[in-house]
C-alpha cells in the first residue's frame, strides 16, 4: 500500500476493499519500523488516529458521509495546534505545552475524514533550512541518511518521501515547505498568501507565513487544496474567496503555455543544478512549452529583504514567550525580569536567539529607516517586478534549491544556511503561489526540484500544470530504496 497515492488509498477505502483501521495500522507500523532511522516524528498520535479510523469504518458501514479525505493518513508539522495534544514548535520552550484549540487546518482535514497520525519535526519555531536546529533531533534524509532532510518542515517531507504517510503538512515562511520537499524528492506547495487559514499555526513571520501540503504527487496536492483553500473568519489575513475545484478539467497539453525564466539571476548556478534545470526545460520545450527570458533582476535582493522582515516579525511574535503565559518558566528566576530573561535564555536555542537579536536590531529607532523600511520598499518593487513578468508568461520557473541535500553538521556558518533559501523566498516576498516537483538527481543520487511560480490567486492553474510537468518528467513516483519495501 505504501506505493499508493492518497487518492488511491481513499478510493480503496470507499470501495470497501480496506478498512480505515487497516490503513491506520499499516502506516503506524511503517512509522514504528522506519522512523528510528529517520526521526520524522516528535509525537505519534496513535489513539487519536485509531479513534478517527473507527469512526470512519462505522460511518461507511452505515452509508453516512465520510468526506473527501476519508481514511487518508496525514502528518502535521509540530507548529500547528491540535486540541489537547502537545505543540512543541521543535523547541524546549514548549516541550509540555498542550494546545487549547484546534487549528482551522486540522478542523477542515478531520471534517473531511482525514486521519491525523502524528506531529512532525521542524527547526525550532520553523527557523532553519535543515531540521538540525530542532531542539530534539535532526530529521534525516530518506535518500541518504548522512544528509539533512531540509527545513524547516523536514519531518513532514521525510515522512512523505519514505512513505510513512501519503501527506504531510508544513508551514512556508521563506521556503520551509518547498526546500525540504525538493531535498526529499516530493511535491511541496505554498499557496497564495491568505489562501489557507493560519489560525492555530504558531506565527513566525506573519506577513510571509503560509501553510502548505507535501505529497508524492500533484494530484494529491490538488485534492487537499479543494478542502483547505477556504475562507476562515478566525484569520484576518484569510482571503474571502470561495473554495475552488482543482481536479476537474485538468489540462492535457501545454498548448499556449509560456514559462518565463530569469536567466540573468540564474547565472551563478552550480553546474549540476544548472544541468538539471536545463534538462527539465529541454523536456518541456519538446512538449511545446514556450520559454521566454524574464527580467527579475530584483531577485538578488530578496534574501536580504527576507531576513530583515522575517527576523523583525519573528522578534515581535516571539515576545509572547515570556515565561509567564506559555511553556517554560526558569526555576532559577527570582524576580520578574529574571523570569523573562532566564526562561528565554534557557528555553530558546541559538538560532532563535540570533533571529530575535537581528529582528530587534533592524526595528530599533536608529536603524528602522535604514533596514526595515527600505526592505519594505524593495518588497513592493519585487511584487511589481513579478506582476510585470507575468504580463508576458503564465509561470516563472527556477530551481527550488541552489544545491542538493548536504551532510548533517556540514554547514556551520548561519549565512551559508540562509543562502539555501535563495530561490524560495521570492514567492513569500511577492505573496504568490509556488510549487516544487521532483526533477531528478545529481551525480551523488541526491534529489533536486523544479520550481514554478504563478501570479497571486492562480493556485488552481499552477497546481494543475505542475501535475502535467510532473507527468512529463515521469519522476515523482520514485521511492528511496531503503524504504521501498513493506
> What is the set of active-site residues?
77, 152, 176
Of residues 113 and 205, the one with the C-beta less far from ligand GLN: 205
Determine which helix (DSSP H) or strand (DSSP E) holds 376, and give its type and residue range: helix 374-390
Contacts 24+ apart (CB under 8 A), 319-325: 321/93, 321/94, 321/347, 321/348, 323/347
The footprint of ligand GLN on this chain (CB under 6 A) covers a number of residues equal to: 14
Decide: 147 and 141 in contact? Cβ < 8 Å: yes
Interstrand relation of 447-453 and 395-399 (parallel, antiparallel or unpaired): antiparallel
**309 sits near ligand GLN (criterion: CB under 6 A):** no
Which residues inside 200-229 make contact with ligand GLN, applying CB under 6 A?
Answer: 204
Q: What is the CA radius of gyration of the chain?
A: 21
**172 sits near ligand GLN (criterion: CB under 6 A):** yes
Out of 142, 154, 168, 175, which residue is the one contacting ligand GLN (CB under 6 A)? 175
Task: Output the residue with the shortest Cβ distance to ligand GLN.
Answer: 176
Of residues 190 and 219, the one with the C-beta less far from ligand GLN: 190
**173 sits near ligand GLN (criterion: CB under 6 A):** yes
**127 sits near ligand GLN (criterion: CB under 6 A):** yes
Determine which helix (DSSP H) or strand (DSSP E) holds 29, and give its type and residue range: helix 20-38
Q: Which residues pair with 214 in a beta bridge?
A: 168, 188
Query: Which stretch, 51-59, 110-118, 121-129, 461-469, contacts ligand GLN (CB under 6 A)?
Result: 121-129
Closest distance to ligand GLN from the beta carbon of 19 (Å): 37
| Closest to 486 measured CA to CA, from 19, 33, 17 | 33
**138 sits near ligand GLN (criterion: CB under 6 A):** no
Grid coordinates given for 231: 475562507
Of residues 7 and 127, the one with the C-beta less far from ligand GLN: 127
> What count of other Cβ atoms lies within 10 Å of the Cβ of residue 98?
12
Grid coordinates given for 175: 521556503
Of residues 38 and 308, the one with the C-beta less far from ligand GLN: 308
Decide: 178 and 435 in contact? Cβ < 8 Å: yes
Query: Which stretch, 3-11, 120-128, 257-265, 379-387, contacts ligand GLN (CB under 6 A)?
Result: 120-128
**176 sits near ligand GLN (criterion: CB under 6 A):** yes
Closest distance to ligand GLN from the beta carbon of 171 (Å): 6
Backbone phi and psi for residue 213, each to the nearest 5 degrees, phi listed first: -90, 155
Task: Give the binding site for ligand GLN (CB under 6 A).
Answer: 126-129, 152, 171-176, 204, 310, 421
Amino acid at each position: 500500500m505504501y506505493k499508493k497515492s492518497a487518492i488511491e488509498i481513499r478510493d480503496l477505502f470507499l470501495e470497501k476493499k480496506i478498512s480505515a483501521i487497516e490503513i491506520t495500522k499499516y502506516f503506524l507500523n511503517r512509522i514504528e519500523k522506519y522512523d528510528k532511522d529517520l526521526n520524522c516524528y516528535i509525537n505519534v498520535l496513535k489513539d487519536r488516529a485509531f479513534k478517527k479510523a473507527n469512526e470512519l469504518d462505522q460511518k461507511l458501514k452505515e452509508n453516512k458521509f465520510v468526506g473527501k479525505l476519508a481514511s487518508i493518513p496525514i502528518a502535521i508539522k509540530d507548529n500547528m495546534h491540535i486540541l489537547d495534544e502537545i505543540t512543541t514548535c521543535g523547541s524546549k520552550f514548549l516541550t509540555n505545552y498542550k494546545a487549547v484549540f484546534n487549528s482551522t487546518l486540522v478542523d477542515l482535514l478531520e471534517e473531511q475524514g482525514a486521519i491525523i497520525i502524528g506531529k512532525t519535526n521542524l527547526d525550532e519555531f520553523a527557523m532553519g533550512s535543515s531540521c538540525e536546529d530542532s531542539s530534539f533531533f535532526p530529521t534525516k534524509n530518506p535518500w541518504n541518511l548522512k544528509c539533512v532532510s531540509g527545513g524547516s518542515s523536514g519531518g513532514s517531507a521525510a515522512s512523505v518521501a519514505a512513505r510513512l504517510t501519503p501527506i504531510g503538512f508544513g508551514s512556508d515562511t521563506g521556503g520551509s515547505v518547498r526546500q525540504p520537499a525538493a531535498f526529499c524528492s516530493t511535491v511541496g506547495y505554498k499557496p497564495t498568501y491568505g489562501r489557507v487559514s493560519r489560525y492555530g499555526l504558531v506565527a513566525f513571520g506573519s506577513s510571509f507565513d503560509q501553510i502548505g501540503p507535501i505529497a508524492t504527487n500533484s494530484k494529491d496536492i490538488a485534492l487537499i487544496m479543494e478542502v483547505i483553500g477556504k475562507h476562515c473568519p478566525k484569520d484576518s489575513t484569510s482571503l474571502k474567496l470561495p473554495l475552488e475545484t482543482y481536479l476537474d478539467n485538468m489540462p492535457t497539453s501545454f498548448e499556449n503555455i509560456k514559462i518565463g525564466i530569469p536567466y540573468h539571476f540564474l547565472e551563478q548556478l552550480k553546474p549540476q543544478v544548472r544541468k538539471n534545470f536545463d534538462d527539465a526545460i529541454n523536456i518541456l520545450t519538446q512538449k511545446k512549452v514556450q520559454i521566454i527570458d524574464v527580467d527579475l533582476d530584483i531577485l538578488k535582493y530578496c534574501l536580504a529583504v527576507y531576513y530583515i522582515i522575517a527576523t523583525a516579525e519573528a522578534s515581535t511574535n516571539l515576545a509572547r514567550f515570556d515565561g509567564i503565559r506559555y511553556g517554560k518558566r526558569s526555576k532559577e528566576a527570582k524576580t520578574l525580569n529574571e523570569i523573562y530573561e532566564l526562561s528565554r535564555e534557557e528555553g530558546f536555542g541559538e538560532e532563535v536567539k540570533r533571529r530575535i537579536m537581528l529582528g530587534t536590531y533592524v526595528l530599533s529607532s536608529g536603524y528602522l529607516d535604514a533596514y526595515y523600511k527600505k526592505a519594505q520598499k524593495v518588497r513592493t518593487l519585487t511584487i511589481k517586478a513579478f506582476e510585470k513578468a507575468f504580463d508576458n508568461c503564465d509561470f516563472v520557473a527556477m530551481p527550488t534549491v541552489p544545491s542538493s541535500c548536504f551532510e548533517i553538521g556540514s554547514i556551520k556558518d548561519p549565512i551559508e544556511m540562509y543562502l539555501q533559501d535563495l530561490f524560495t523566498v521570492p514567492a513569500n516576498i511577492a505573496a504568490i503561489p509556488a510549487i516544487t516537483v521532483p526533477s531528478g538527481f545529481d551525480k551523488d543520487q541526491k534529489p533536486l526540484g523544479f520550481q514554478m511560480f504563478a501570479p497571486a490567486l492562480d493556485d488552481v492553474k499552477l497546481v494543475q500544470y505542475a501535475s502535467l510537468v510532473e507527468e512529463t518528467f515521469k519522476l515523482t513516483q520514485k521511492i528511496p530504496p531503503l524504504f521501498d519495501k513493506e
